[in-house]
Structure 1
């Protein structure tokens, strides 16, 4: 590596011996040696022109961004580090860009923004601010609806005859609204178990279906305790539906129904009395 310079030195010394005196030869040799030494130093230590090479290498070898920012802040006013500071700043910006690319693929939520700010707001404030604007542009996320509480289970309570409150309620309601097809299904069980009102409803239902035989059976079962059933029996005797016409029996059952507060039975009695010839009352 050093052979060309050694040869040059020897050549100069030999060629100068014949033409110059000793003093001049000594002066020329000293100058040549000095310049040769400078060249040799540059060859042996080529990095000596950048005294901060080791600092730069140490900064660039570590993986974090904040040490770069801290170095820039610490040596900002040092003109001897101008080129070094430029390189550090470029490295810092490259790392911030890499982080920004990573966060560009994350959901733009407040949680992500908080994590971004905590880790990089010191060294990469512009990128964090850009992500914050992205979060602000997101439409608001609707709050989840409160979970509906399950309705309490309906407790079915049965009476002494094993008839549930629900069955009775269905029977009474469906008959009242004249949904006789469904009412018949609902009333059958309670009527079989001896519920008087359900028995009277069964009589009304079968009468509406013109099944007078079945209507008579249920009306006779319920009539001792039901004004509605007694009134229906009075109608059947008065019209002869399902049984032979008998006005005396009709009046009897109308009277029984009226005693129990049945208004239509009382009205039927009044009409019957008006129609009787004078002296028959």
Structure 2
């Protein structure tokens, strides 16, 4: 097994951050703007995803260096018991600095009582066409009452603006509400101002970031791993760097080969954005430093 970075924080200097995406692709929502796969996983596909996640969790448990994990499933993970169990198990490991997952919050939250909430966090997305305001707000208030670290966000579509304003107004000020620019959207200054009033950091999402040849932490202290253990620098660069389980991955700092980066889980690691300072302590769960 190659030597991997080790250290105390999430600022890209000292430990390995893993973006894990297994074969799971089924979701209980069907958002028309979602760029992810749309399918109903059959029992065999679900068994394969469960086995892959359990293998990954065991690998993390066997490390002796600091690790952080962000689960970024194509579908909704927390409606599956094995994702909830993995979150709980990883949260209690002393060398795991953070374990987070992207979720629509459609699941029940009782399982969180078993987790170490100093380590676990949630990246929640509000989909107004799939859930009522009241139901989603109730889920968020439950997380607040439990002391769970989480952020909430929406896709910046015109039809979501009123919903986003309302959820921002109804949530405590300390809950960060982010806005993702809609794919391919061009915002006028007035439109951008409306979204910036909700998310002061919307400027980072408004337009894609030039990335070709620029320094990025991915491939070195941040990697993407799939269900087979295949390692890539991030979800958006297909070149394979090795395999996590076969010990063939070697971390190496290299410039980004892509022309642009337009997704937060990518450009947050681009050094030129300075977002490790903006989100210090909350890079994976998308919570800015206070």
Q: Where on the TM-score scale, by shorter chain, does this alignment land: which range?
A: under 0.3
Q: Which has the higher contact order (CA 8 A, sep 6+)?
A: 2
Which structure shows the higher strand fraction? 2
Which structure shows the higher helix fraction? 1
Instruction: State the TM-score, normalized to the length of structure 2.
Output: 0.21
Instruction: State the TM-score, normalized to the length of structure 1.
Output: 0.22
